[in-house]
Amino acid sequence: MTKKLLALISVVIIATLLLAACGTPATQAPAATEAPAATAAATEAPAATEAAAEPVVITWWHITTKDPGLTEFQKMADDYMAAHPNVKIEITVLENEAFKTKLTTVMQSGEVPDIFQSWGQGGMIEQVNAGLLKDITADLKGEWGDSLGALDAFAVDGKNYGVPWDMGAVTFWYNKDLFAKAGITTVPTTWSEFLADCETLKKAGITPISVGEGDKWPGMHIWAYLVSRIGGAEAFSAAAATGAARTGSFNDEAFVKAGYELKKLVDGGYFQEGFLGATHDQMNATFGNGEAAMELGGQWSPSVEKANSADGVGVKNMGMFNFPAVEGGAGKVTDIVGGGNGFAIGKNAPPEAIDFVKYLTNLDNQKIVASTGMGIPVAKGAAASIADPNMVMVADAVANSTYYQLYFDQVLPSAMGSIINDAVQKIFAGTATPEEVCAEIEAGFLAQ
Amino acid sequence: MQSNPAQAKSLYPKPSGQSRKLKDRLVIILFLLPALVIFLLFVIYPIFRSVYYSTFDWKGLGAATHNIGLENYRKILVDAVFQKSVVNVIIIIVLSLVLQLPAAIILSTMVSRDLPGRAMFRTIFFLPYVISEVNAAIMWMLLYSPEPERGFINGVLVALGGSPVNWLADMKIVLFAVFIVLTWKYFGFHMLLYLTGLQNIPSEIEEAARMDGANSFQNFWYITLPLLSGTIRTSVQMSVLGSIQQFILVWVMTKGGPVNASEVMATYMYRFGFVRFQFGYGSAVAIIMFLICVIFSLLYRQLTNKPDYLTGL
């Protein structure tokens, strides 16, 4: 027994020594890893006759996992590298959720990618406060900054830390054939018209709305829109502010009333069977297969419903309308809830990375974004290149918007998205009253 | 095991013997080292790190500075959602022990006999365990689809004259729907454990019992089961620990929903750690899960400290 113990202790001691030994050279390690890269570059150098510029590696993380974006982004990077032989762009493509997880993990170590996906605002503010982003205000001054719209979403306290490349809107998409079948000739512009249309559709044996409440966020957008229709821009900004600027709360009437209006849809039985467990893909399958007349979704909806439909074609006769205005509410029917995608610049980004982002968002590439249907471009003059009629409708809705409300979860601290999603799901499930749901969101906000 | 030093001296009088023993020890230590280092670095160290972070209100960005002591633990223990997740885990454990393991024992005794095609059955039963968890979850989501035209199970129900069931959307059913998938996924593993256990039982014992007039059931009940006790012990422990740590299948299929109806401790931890980025809170949940597993394992070992009939271990 004592011998065993001795052996064990000696093993532990040796292990500790070895660990300590591992620890010391760690500081020198980066130099060692850099060395081979330098020699590799040196061997390539003779190819270029002139003394090439210092080799630079740019890391870029994006979440465009599907075509056309996947290929186009790679092509843009390849073209840039061809024009700048000293620059090597390392692209990491990640799925949305995986990206968020991985980004947070690397941020703990301060190893921020040079360029990465961002939705601006809430999450970006936290990254700025942690000192992980680079201030590019000076770079944006002048031509580059003037060429882009929606820059504010990627600015914190007047300083820019990223640029948008796509700005869309959440709207109702509907199946014109199913509307016609139910005898509905005009799209609803008010909430009571909308509820009446839902009833008409249901009576005609058609599921009015498809929603993927298993993923929570698709249904949350209905509630968010109702809040902004009932309370206008004021209600949300008053509740979302911090400190002395906070003049409202999530317990305010607009939020509670939105819950009750949402409840009407649930109680009316206007959602598809099993909506509580349906994912975003399943929701789009239901809509894409022509089994539901409407869905609330962003500029991504036409391509997602198509991809998830049984025949790969999706809804043949699709239309779009703005979220209806709620009678007596402060919000207009032309107010938009939406958001987009942008590039955030990491704190260690070399000047070449900024130059590359400048290239990515130039008019030519923004036209590619428009013409391939990757998104709604933000560069002035690029919108004309949008080929897809569905995207033209979204771009028009954005262009004609009287107020642009960024997604609630993008404005608020990052944890709030999940808190609101979880709370609002309870209205869909009928397990809590709208008052309880609002109280839960308010408590979550105060805990941030 | 302990030896008298004097005796030891007389047993190994030559110094060469001593040094060889020392060499053997060194070799053992050297061979153990790589695994030990990895174990310490990637298992033990993170546990201590988590304990440290669990006392912070920390979002994962920058350094953890806001120490709040045991506040995270207090909040977790009074959180109704966490309590719900514990209850759900207990339900899964109980169902596993009552349904999954007996089924695994019965099937393993069946496929260990000289049945025609037993190799094929063995493979079929073991197949689900080999499939990756995410694939299995997606496959079952399709099977469970609420629309009878697309979901196989509801299709069969409707064809038989029943009405479709919202397997993953009904808060009363979802946990059991998930449990069915867990059983389907893991009983093959337990079956394999039992098969190994069965192979260690000498056929002479069964033959002798048969000579004495024992029928198949008596054979199973008085001979096979007691001789399998060691394997059963391992199987139960793995089943319980696996249930406590279950994550992937639940997260992919339901994300713990609808409204926490299928929440388990691991999905709760993930939600706070990696969806809401409250790493301090998430770490505290992880530590609670870790403590539950450790306490269970120690208690379990203590309670089932009976030697195995066959090996004496």
**pLDDT score of B17 more than 70:** no
CB contact A425 to B (< 8 Å): yes
CB–CB contact B37 A18 (8 Å): yes
Please give the distance of CA A369 from its chain centroid, rounded to a whole number. 16
Rounded to a whole number of angstroms, the distance from the CA of A18 to the nearest CA of chain B is 8
- Tell me, what's the pLDDT at B8? 46
Of residues A107, A214, A419, nearest to B276 (C-beta):
A419
Pairing of strands A56-62, A87-93: parallel
- Tell me, what's the pLDDT at A49? 40
CA atoms within 13 A on the CB side of A244: 0
State pLDDT tens for residues B49-98. Answer: 999 999 998 887 777 888 898 999 999 999 999 999 999 999 999 999 99
State pLDDT tens for residues A110-128. Answer: 789 999 999 888 788 888 8
CA distance A254 to A251: 8
Element (H, E) at A235: helix A217-240
User: Secondary structure of B18-42 in the HEC alphabet?
Assistant: HHHHHHHHHHHHHHHHHHHHHHHHH
Rounded to a whole number of angstroms, the distance from the CA of B275 to the nearest CA of chain A is 7
Q: State the Cα torsion A344-A346-A349-A352 to the nearest 10°.
A: -10
Beta bridge partners of B56: B67
CB contact A109 to B (< 8 Å): no
- Tell me, what's the pLDDT at B214? 85
CB contact A40 to B (< 8 Å): no
Q: What is the mean pLDDT of each run of 10 residues along chain A (448 residues)?
A: 52 49 39 39 41 82 87 93 93 88 82 91 84 91 84 86 91 96 95 96 96 93 95 90 87 95 96 92 93 93 88 91 95 91 92 92 90 85 85 88 86 87 94 95 90
Beta bridge partners of B191: none
For residue A15, list chain B residues with Cβ-Cβ distance below 8 A: 33, 36-37, 40
Q: What order do you get walking across the sheet with A171-175 strand by strand?
A: A207-209, A292-297, A171-175, A318-321
Q: Which residues contact A262 (CB under 8 A, 6 or more apart)?
A: A222, A223, A226, A424, A427, A428, A434
Please give the distance of CA B34 from its chain centroid, rounded to a whole number. 26
- Tell me, what's the pLDDT at A300? 87
CA distance A76 to A89: 10
Instruction: Report phi then psi at A324, rounded to 5.
Output: -60, 155
CA atoms within 13 A on the CB side of A341: 22
Query: Which token pair is A31?
Result: 């130099």
Cβ-based interface (< 8 Å): residues of B facing A: 1-2, 25, 28-29, 32-33, 36-37, 40-41, 59-62, 141, 145-147, 150, 164, 166-171, 174, 254-255, 257-259, 271, 274-278
- Closest to A164 measured CA to CA, from A343, A300, A299, A360: A343
CB–CB contact A282 B61 (8 Å): no
- Tell me, what's the pLDDT at A29? 38
CA distance B232 to B192: 12
CA distance A311 to A211: 20
CB–CB contact B61 A278 (8 Å): no
Element (H, E) at A292: strand A292-297
| Class of domain B84-303 as given by CATH | mainly alpha
A330: DSSP letter: S
B301 exposure class (CB count in 10 Å sphere: 0-12, 13-18, 19+): exposed
DSSP string of A373-418, one letter each residue: TS----BTT-GGG---HHHHHHHHHHHT-S-EEE-HHHHS-HHHHH
CB–CB contact A15 B257 (8 Å): no
For residue A129, list chain B residues with Cβ-Cβ distance below 8 A: 61
Query: Which token pair is A183?
Result: 């005898």
- Cβ neighbours of B33 (radius 10 Å): 14
State pLDDT tens for residues B225-235. Answer: 888 888 999 99
- Closest to A361 measured CA to CA, from A74, A166, A141: A166
For residue B275, list chain A residues with Cβ-Cβ distance below 8 A: 418
Residues B110-149 as b/e (b if ≥16 CB within 10 A, e otherwise) read ebbeeeeeeeeebeebbebbeeebeebbeebbebbbbbbe
CB–CB contact B61 A129 (8 Å): yes
* Ranges of each domain in chain B: 84-303
CA distance A56 to A351: 10
- The answer to whether B200 and B310 are in contact (CB under 8 A) is yes
CB contact A447 to B (< 8 Å): no
- Could you give all domains of chain A from N- to C-terminal order, each with its CATH number? 52-167+339-399 (3.40.190.10), 171-338+413-446 (3.40.190.10)
- Tell me, what's the pLDDT at B111? 83
Q: Which residues contact B186 (CB under 8 A, 6 or more apart)?
A: B100, B128, B129, B239, B242
> Who wins on pLDDT, A222 or B301?
A222
Q: Count interface pairs A-B at CB distance under 8 A.
A: 112
Please compute the mean of the pLDDT values over residues B109-138 and round it to a whole number.
Answer: 87
State pLDDT tens for residues B157-204. Answer: 999 988 888 899 889 999 999 999 999 999 999 999 999 898 888 888
Q: State the average pLDDT for chain B.
A: 87
CA distance A110 to A133: 10
- Tell me, what's the pLDDT at A7? 57
- Tell me, what's the pLDDT at A27? 37
CB contact A1 to B (< 8 Å): yes
Please compute the mean of the pLDDT values over residues B261-268 and round it to a whole number.
Answer: 94
- Tell me, what's the pLDDT at A357? 93
Instruction: Report phi then psi at B162, rounded to 5.
Output: -90, -175
CB–CB contact B147 A426 (8 Å): no
Q: How much is the ipTM here? A: 0.77
- The answer to whether A308 and A284 are in contact (CB under 8 A) is yes
CA distance A269 to A65: 35
- Tell me, what's the pLDDT at B307? 61
